Structure 1
Amino acid sequence: MPATTDNQSSFLNRISIRRNQVVAMENHDLELEDLELFQKHVADRFSHILSTTAGNTTDPSSATTESPSAAQESCTPPLLSISWFRNLLDTYLCCEAEFKAVLVMGRDPTQFTKTPLDKLIPDLLDRSVKALDICNAVTHGVELVRHWQKLAQIAVTALQQTTIGEGQVRRAKKALNTLLTSMVVDEKENANSNNHGKSTERSWSFGRRGGSGNNNKDRATGNFRSLSWSVAKQWSAAKQIQAMSANLAAPRGGESTGLAMPVYIMSTVLVFVMWSLVAAIPCQERTGLATHFVVPRQLGWAQPMIGLQEKIVEEWKKKEKKGTAGLLEELQKMEKVAQSLVDFADSFQFPLEEEKAAEVAMQVEELADICRKMEEGLVPLQQQVREVFHRIVRSRAEVLDLLDQVGKLSTPVPY
């Protein structure tokens, strides 16, 4: 996003220069101008994402008929694809840098002890901690998707042989069944966690058999625990998002022209980004996610964000009925093609008819294209999530340092 980065640099330089030189304008007027520019940049960035989202919806039913080359020809990322999320995280990082400049750069720290910042800043810091938990969950969720990609690649390698025989089909079917079963196990465990108030402690076990070797269910699923890092039994991604948005209220009256507004804007951006990631990437317990986040429609800067949210909610409601493992566009297509190839393997007869061989070859090529996109995009996406994590940590530390300065200033000097 070169243009976005240039705008960000210009904006930050502008604030830095103006706040360190004597100017004719009153400070209040400068803050109003900075606030308006910040709102404009947020609106422009999310408008850009909305306008450059290819198709705007994902239809898994078309996965077996769409040509991989046709998908590659599109220069705009589909909604909820890996490329789309990379753009979204870039946008978050740009917005966060500008927000920190508006809130912190050249700021008198005593303002943070006055209404309404005395309440909004602690809420923002608490929201940041919850976002760190989401980042950790998403990072491990991406690791799981990478494992699924490796299983799909095993099937691709087996079925791309010049002559497909019984051995290749059995190998591909075993890998794809493990892939599809693990997706179903993930969602069933999440549902059980929500319905019965309990879940299983997780340990690193991607595709590994547990100690209970005589358990038929474990043998059937390979003891595939999708969310495999150690987390609290009651931890819920959906409840975490709900907690992040619980105290999120738009400023009213005079507060809407002060620092309360950029705090609200950045909090909204943070919740939207975390909400979108949780909807797309496998995370523990996501039931009812579509009802947990509301943005007031009267705010002009929020309109493109609301448009994106509505499209994601539509996709969530469609997929929720099927009980599958996430809205990531590549993941949906992988699931659809994998199921089709399993159906083919169940009815396989050697030698393969020419027409059927051509149909299978096209599906295998589509699965190979999905694997390539995952291979190229998942590691950079995971790195971006980590970058967001570290940016949140650094920004939170800077705000805490300012609050610490206020505490020292308010401490009586002993004589």
Structure 2
Amino acid sequence: MDGNHEQELEDLELFQKYVADRFSDLLSSSSDEAADSLLSVSWLRKLVDVFLCCEAEFKAVLIMGRDPSQVSKPPLDRLVPEFLDRVVKALDVCNAVSHSVESVRHYQKLAEIAVSAFEQRSIGDGQVRRAKKALNSLMLTLEEKEGSNHKSAERAWSFGRRGATNKDRAAPGQFRSLSWNMAKGWSAAKQIQAMSANLVAPRGAKSSGLASPVYIMSTVMLFVMWALVAAIPCQERNGLSTHFPVPRQLGWAQSMVALQEKIAEEWKKKKEKTRLAGLLEETQRLERLGQSLIEFADSFHFPAEAERLEEMASQVAELADTCKKMEEGLVPLQQQIREV
């Protein structure tokens, strides 16, 4: 028994260190100067990868080399079913996020239309009108998505639409959303709140046993789902809190708490300035550049001043670069979420 307990302590210490190191890497890569700034598509891909890696380590700690009867004994007889309930709720969140990535890809397509129009060699009234129409559609879509309440009564299914024809299926090299809208009344905010219910850090002797990795992995899962919902415009986010309780004194949680605070700060800024759909960095750029280019289009007169054209060209180049990053990252992110 003493040997088993020592092994448990060693496993727990290694798991805590692993989680701490992975989230520390995430925190260091979230600075403004980093290549993968906070809540960008590339950063979210790192976040989902961290989740998958932590989950693999968690399963090794909880299952490998252990007597299965331990799961039927206190405290795991209660904690494991609670954990599995969170897993099911996380599956729903992943379905909603995966579906909502399609909306973000739609934003990208509208922005690309504007880029194509503005990049014409000789820009005139026709090209400006075409770009403005696409950008106005983008702004309207962003506002509608933020305030939308999907009324589809269909349920999201994870593994494809039944009865899909060959025409419906994705072509090689492409990826199509296989999710429908979530059920009427489904709420991403309520799902996150339900996942955090009964999530309490183990105390006393339980803190050095198998209850601890279950709590750690539950917290990791909750944070990842919360961050995805904050970034991607999911159904019914009203009431999604900017924080959920993570004990600061726990060493493995410190980087996670710091990330949570940074995301909460972004949330606060967003509420003060805009009704933007989600905190995804690329979407925020689309909104900022789109509004500026609409102002350019409203005041456009042919022939335009060279200085105005130069300013417009710089913004169009940034918009094109943002679209390229979305093109490169959104489909792989969607595939990773499906893997989760």
Trace 1:59-74 onto structure 2 (pairs within 5 A).
Answer: none
Distance 2:306 2:42 in 1: 36
Aligned pair 1:118/2:77, yes or no?
A: yes
Bigger Cα Rg: 1
Percent of aligned positions that are identical: 67
Aligned pair 1:240/2:191, yes or no?
A: yes
Of stretches 347-356 and 320-329 in structure 1, the one that deviates more from structure 2 is 320-329
Aligned to 1:410: none
Q: Note if contact 2:135-2:290 (Cα within 8 Å) is conserved in structure 1.
A: yes
| Deviation of 1:202 (Å) | 6.9
Q: Note if contact 2:99-2:181 (Cα within 8 Å) is conserved in structure 1.
A: no
Aligned to 1:273: 224
Distance 1:286 1:353 in 2: 44
| Deviation of 1:75 (Å) | 5.3
Aligned pair 1:98/2:57, yes or no?
A: yes
Distance 1:324 1:53 in 2: 21
Q: Note if contact 1:242-1:292 (Cα within 8 Å) is conserved in structure 2.
A: no
Trace 1:139-218 onto structure 2 (pairs within 5 A).
Answer: 139-190=98-149, 200-201=151-152
Question: Which residue of 305, 310, 313 maps to 1:361?
Answer: 313
Aligned to 1:250: 201
Distance 2:328 2:153 in 1: 28
Trace 1:313-352 onto structure 2 (pairs within 5 A).
Answer: 313-321=264-272, 322-352=274-304
Deviations 1:232-252 (A, max 9, x none): 221110110000011110001
Aligned to 1:85: 44
Distance 1:286 1:361 in 2: 36
| Deviation of 1:188 (Å) | 2.3
Aligned to 2:175: none
Q: Note if contact 1:53-1:79 (Cα within 8 Å) is conserved in structure 2.
A: yes
Aligned to 1:299: 250
Deviations 1:264-317 (A, max 9, x none): 000000000000000000101112323452111111110000000000011112
Letter in 1 for 2:91: L
Distance 1:85 1:48 in 2: 13
Residue 293 of structure 1: SS of its match in structure 2?
coil
Distance 2:290 2:234 in 1: 21
Aligned to 1:396: none
Residue 148 of structure 2: SS of its match in structure 1?
helix
Deviations 1:183-208 (A, max 9, x none): 11112225xxxxxxxx52278xxxxx
TM-score, length-normalised on structure 2?
0.89
Aligned pair 1:53/2:30, yes or no?
A: yes
Aligned pair 1:312/2:263, yes or no?
A: yes
Residue 289 of structure 1: SS of its match in structure 2?
coil
Query: 5+ residue gaps in structure 1?
Result: 1-23, 56-73, 191-198, 204-227, 389-415
Letter in 1 for 2:305: E
Letter in 1 for 2:78: K
Q: Note if contact 1:139-1:382 (Cα within 8 Å) is conserved in structure 2.
A: yes
Distance 2:230 2:242 in 1: 12
Query: 5+ residue gaps in structure 2?
Result: 155-178
Question: Structure 1 residues 143, 124: CA separation in 2 closer, same or farther (over 3 Å shift)?
Answer: same
Q: Note if contact 2:187-2:236 (Cα within 8 Å) is conserved in structure 1.
A: yes
Letter in 2 for 1:339: Q
Aligned to 1:35: 12
Letter in 2 for 1:282: P
Distance 1:314 1:290 in 2: 12
Letter in 2 for 1:256: S
| Deviation of 1:334 (Å) | 0.8
| Deviation of 1:162 (Å) | 1.2
> How many residues align structurally?
315
Aligned pair 1:384/2:330, yes or no?
A: no
Distance 1:202 1:186 in 2: 18
| Deviation of 1:142 (Å) | 0.9
Aligned to 2:176: none
Distance 1:174 1:202 in 2: 32
Aligned to 2:66: 107
| Deviation of 1:374 (Å) | 0.4
